Amino acid sequence: MKRITVKSRQRHGTESLDLTLPSKIRKKYNFSDGDIFEVKVVEKDEKVEIIYRALLIQNKP
């Protein structure tokens, strides 16, 4: 898969940020509103890697 970038967005009324999945990824893996992901943050050499793992995909065929 080619390199994909996303922009974080401020969630209204909170201090959290949203990262949006591009539609090609969403459609390929059938992700939808309400799916549950585990988030792992890895810090190494002044870089941060954020890893999402799908735990529950509600509309899985």
Which spans in 1-61 are helix H?
A: 23-29
45 assigned to some structural domain = yes
User: Using one digit for the tens of pLDDT, what is the confidence trace for 1-57?
Assistant: 688 889 999 988 888 999 988 999 999 999 999 999 999 999 999 999 999 999 988
What integer pLDDT is reported at residue 46 of this predicted model? Answer: 94
48 assigned to some structural domain = yes
What range does the domain containing 48 cover?
A: 8-56
What integer pLDDT is reported at residue 12 of this predicted model? Answer: 83
3 assigned to some structural domain = no
**Cα distance between the two ends of the chain:** 23
61 assigned to some structural domain = no
